[in-house]
């Protein structure tokens, strides 16, 4: 049995969940509210260690109660997924990925469920580890999945919103959140809608902080806030919920923390002491959560003109993940500000140079590529890197081979298997268990998605449809017509006409 979570010696009493952890926690709790009610209750209380133990203990009790002669019950897909979720929440990504893999293995015969769950699990893992474009694309696949359940699509849109916001793509974040709100309004569980309201409040406060005049040299965010519609007062956001439900403890605490951050950004010096007192009262999940909580406080203090508090937070920042500290633009920005306050101009310039280089790298690598500048192979790879993230490491080479040869009409599963020196059956099983689709199905979906993107971009006359399809290795008119309608529930010409409107 895996060891019980005890992150960094932190008490299991009412862990303090930070952005975006609180939203993953709320969605996980609501997902399992009917099948794992004790897990849900613990998560909503903010006690992640207790949540882990409730699922672990239930599985152990079932195994022990089976008796020596009876067949022992394996953990269910729901139990394994819940264990993976809470492992991710307490910053044990390695254990989470193992639980996710085992959970998906149990449903590999259900193509639809496997595709949705594979994208969901990859989306949350990528989001929590800072692989934001992979997270956004993984969640987007669920949102576009016609067979996905309403609650699965709510979760997907929330995940997309979180990823877009962290990429400073606030308009896209707001659009995804509105889609989630529309779905939640028709959902029988009112706490989904309350969670969406909390995230809208989160965005308001975070944008208030980042739009402050004192942070006008924070180039990463200022590039997104350049137009007034991006600011907290000029955006389109979901209307407040009309649903009536009690707020879970984890929800109420995050709302309290956001109020403290807003006050700190308004220059209320005592707000920092209140935030620190709340953190001491509730505890923290892990060093990663402490790291991000401190960054939120630091930026709010800078926004409020409280540079001494911001510098003190940076000076007292506990050691965290070295890679994240090297890549996190808010952290690098804070280091520059702290050095400047100490009067060390050379060090401030060094950190600010590192900050601007990292901000540019993030904007370049995470932003959607320009269509005209890329071949079909490059674009298939850029648009679907979430597929590689969902495959076992060895088989990512097979996926790359597919992408590199996607424009070849004669590309087959047999050829891809030979490239890896494995049997066709092996590669089919691996792809099906990881993605819910065979290599042949993946080739077909990549081609159809690429054709659709080109048609929407080109908006050309009908004859261009077949030229476009040929560039993606699909040269049979009947195959194109049947496959396109089945995949998108419309013909290529209907796509062009609808887009032209």
Provide mean pLDDT across the span 84-108: 92
Contacting residues for 297 by C-beta, under 8 A, at least 6 apart: 261, 264, 272, 275, 309, 313
Whether the CB-CB separation of 133 and 385 falls below 8 Å is answered with: yes
Give CA–CA dist 396/446, Å, rounded. 15
Whether the pLDDT of residue 282 is over 70: the answer is no
Backbone torsions φ then ψ of 189, nearest 5 degrees: -95, 105
Whether the pLDDT of residue 320 is over 70: the answer is no
Give CA–CA dist 35/373, Å, rounded. 49
More confident residue, 299 or 245: 299
Task: Say yes or no: do domains 212-229+245-368 and 371-500 share a fold.
Answer: no
Whether the pLDDT of residue 72 is over 70: the answer is no
Angle at 210 between CA 220 and CA 124, to 5 degrees: 70
Per-residue confidence (pLDDT) for residue 162, from 0 to 100? 96
pLDDT digits (tens, 9 = 90+) for 365-381: 766 544 443 455 555 55
Average of per-residue pLDDT values in the chain: 84
Query: What's 461's DSSP letter?
Result: -
The Cβ of residue 263 has, within 10 Å, a number of other Cβ atoms equal to 18
Most confident option among 70-79, 108-117, 384-393, 411-420: 411-420
Q: Residue ranges of the domains in the chain? A: 212-229+245-368, 371-500
For the domain 371-500, what is the CATH code? 1.10.10.60
Collapsed DSSP state (helix, strand, coil) of residue 236:
coil
Provide mean pLDDT across the span 434-445: 91
212-229+245-368 architecture in CATH? Alpha Horseshoe (1.25)
- Look-up: residue for tokens 């060390």? 344
Provide mean pLDDT across the span 209-218: 92
Whether the pLDDT of residue 94 is over 70: the answer is yes
Q: Within its chain, how far is the Cα of 178 from the centroid?
A: 17
């Amino acid at each position: 049995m895996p060891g019980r979570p005890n992150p960094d010696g932190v008490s299991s009493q009412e862990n303090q969940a930070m952005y975006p952890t609180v939203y993953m926690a709320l969605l996980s709790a609501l997902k399992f509210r009917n099948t794992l009610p004790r897990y849900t209750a613990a998560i909503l209380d903010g006690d992640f260690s207790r949540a882990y133990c409730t699922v672990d203990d239930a599985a152990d009790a079932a195994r022990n109660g089976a008796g020596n002669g009876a067949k022992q019950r394996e953990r269910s897909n729901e139990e394994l997924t819940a264990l993976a979720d809470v492992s991710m929440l307490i910053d044990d990504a390695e254990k989470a990925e193992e639980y996710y893999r085992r959970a998906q293995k149990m449903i590999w015969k259900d193509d639809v469920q496997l595709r949705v769950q594979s994208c969901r699990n990859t989306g949350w893992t990528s989001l929590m580890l800072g692989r934001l474009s992979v997270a956004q694309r993984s969640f987007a696949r669920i949102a576009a999945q016609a067979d996905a359940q309403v609650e699965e699509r709510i979760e997907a849109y929330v995940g997309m919103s979180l990823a877009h916001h962290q990429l400073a793509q606030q308009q896209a974040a707001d659009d995804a959140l509105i889609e989630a709100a529309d779905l939640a309004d028709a959902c029988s569980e009112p706490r989904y809608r309350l969670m969406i309201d909390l995230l809208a409040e989160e965005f308001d406060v975070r944008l208030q902080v980042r739009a402050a005049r004192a942070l006008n040299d924070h180039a990463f965010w200022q590039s997104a806030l350049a137009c007034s519609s991006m600011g907290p007062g000029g955006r389109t956001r979901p209307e407040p919920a009309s649903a009536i439900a009690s707020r879970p403890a984890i929800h109420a605490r995050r709302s309290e923390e956001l109020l403290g951050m807003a006050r700190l950004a308004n220059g209320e010096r005592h707000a920092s002491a209140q935030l620190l007192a709340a953190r001491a009262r509730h505890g923290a999940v892990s060093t990663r959560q402490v790291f991000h909580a401190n960054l939120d406080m630091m930026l709010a203090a800078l926004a409020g003109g409280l540079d001494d508090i911001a510098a003190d937070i940076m000076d007292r920042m506990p050691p965290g993940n070295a890679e994240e500290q090297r890549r996190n633009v808010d952290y690098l920005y804070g280091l520059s500000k702290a050095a400047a306050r100490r009067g060390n101009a050379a060090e401030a310039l060094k950190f600010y140079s590192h900050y601007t280089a990292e901000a540019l790298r993030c904007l370049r690598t995470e932003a959607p590529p320009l269509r005209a500048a890329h071949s079909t192979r490059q674009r298939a790879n850029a648009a679907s890197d979430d597929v590689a993230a969902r495959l076992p490491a060895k088989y990512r080479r097979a996926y790359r081979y597919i992408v590199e040869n996607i424009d070849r009409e004669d590309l087959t599963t047999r050829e891809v298997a030979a490239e890896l020196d494995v049997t066709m059956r092996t590669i089919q099983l691996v792809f099906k268990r990881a993605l819910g689709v065979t290599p042949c199905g993946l080739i077909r979906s990549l081609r159809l998605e690429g054709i659709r993107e080109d048609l929407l971009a080109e908006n050309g006359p009908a004859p261009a449809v077949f030229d476009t399809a040929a560039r993606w290795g699909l040269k049979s008119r009947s195959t194109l017509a049947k496959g396109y309608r089945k995949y998108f529930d419309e013909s290529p010409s209907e796509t062009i006409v609808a887009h032209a409107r």
